[in-house]
């Protein structure tokens, strides 16, 4: 038996307010990241991504809580959530596109940039999937889909020219424990 707590209207409103606050902070961080890319600083992008993940977590939590409530009881909050969700996905898509668009073709990328930007492709795919849900049918602005597509292409180009983290392993597979145990007893050369 699964026990499900009923959530009050004020709790859902509190979550929606928290989403708005976090989204405003994400926009501020996106602007900073876009300015910093001109100076070859990538740490601002990490701050932006962390904030986006916080917003996404709040969206997921709010959606879960709305799903556990009688449909007629809080339909106005559900429609407000959907409106906000669409707005935020569009805003994040535009901010991410702006960041990658401001990156120069000849810009030197730090080691590990590939691993930094690869998760962005997954986020874009998840956003497309989310926008394809039935409740958003006909409500998604074409500009948002264009932003996602253009950003995906820019990220792929960036990843193709970005250096990966170095591989310091001796072999493609990790050593077996038996081999390590045999070498433990060997004296260290001086």
pLDDT at 72: 66
Q: Residues 40-49: what's their mean pLDDT?
A: 81
Q: Is residue 154 part of a domain?
A: yes
More confident residue, 20 or 165: 20
- Residue 61 placed within a domain: yes
Q: Is residue 17, in this structure, part of any structural domain at all?
A: yes
Tell me the average pLDDT across 45-62: 88
| Whole-number pLDDT of residue 189 | 55
Note the pLDDT tens digit of each residue in 83-123.
888 888 888 888 888 888 888 887 788 888 888 888 889 98
Structurally, how many domains does the chain consist of? 1
CA angle 145, 153, 150 (to 5 degrees): 35
Question: Could you tell me if residue 51 is inside a domain?
Answer: yes
> Residue 42 is part of which domain span?
9-162
Which pLDDT tens digit goes with each residue over 135-160?
Answer: 898 999 999 999 999 999 999 998 89
Within a domain: 125:
yes
How distant is the alpha carbon of residue 4 from its chain centre? Answer: 29
Whether 174 is in a domain gets the answer no
Q: Is the pLDDT of residue 3 over 60?
A: no
Q: Is residue 76 part of a domain?
A: yes
The string over 152-170, giving b where at least 16 C-beta atoms fall within 10 Å of a residue's C-beta and e elsewhere, is bebbeebbeebeeeeeeee
Write down the pTM of the prediction. Answer: 0.71
Apex 88 CA angle, 87 and 91, nearest 5 = 90
Between CA 153 and CA 146 the distance in angstroms is 11
Domain for residue 108, yes or no?
yes
Compute the distance between CA of residue 176 and CA of residue 43 in angstroms, rounded to an integer: 37
What is the model's pLDDT at position 124? 92
């Amino acid at each position: 038996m699964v026990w499900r707590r009923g959530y009050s209207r004020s709790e859902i409103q509190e979550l929606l307010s928290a989403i708005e606050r976090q989204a405003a902070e994400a926009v501020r961080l996106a602007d900073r990241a876009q300015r910093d890319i001109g100076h070859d600083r990538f740490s601002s992008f990490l701050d932006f991504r962390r904030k986006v993940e916080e917003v996404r977590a709040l969206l997921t939590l709010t959606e879960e809580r709305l799903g556990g409530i009688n449909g007629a009881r809080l339909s106005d909050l559900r429609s407000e959530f959907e409106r906000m969700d669409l707005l935020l996905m569009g805003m994040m898509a535009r901010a991410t596109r702006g960041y990658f668009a401001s990156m120069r073709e000849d810009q030197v990328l730090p080691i590990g940039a590939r691993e930094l930007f690869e998760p962005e492709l997954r986020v874009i795919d998840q956003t497309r999937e989310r926008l394809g849900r039935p409740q958003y049918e006909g409500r998604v602005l074409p500009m948002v889909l264009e932003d996602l597509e253009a950003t995906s292409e820019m990220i792929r180009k960036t990843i193709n020219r970005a250096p990966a983290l170095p591989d310091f392993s001796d072999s493609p597979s990790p050593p077996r424990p038996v081999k390590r145990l045999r070498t433990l007893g060997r004296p260290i050369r001086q």
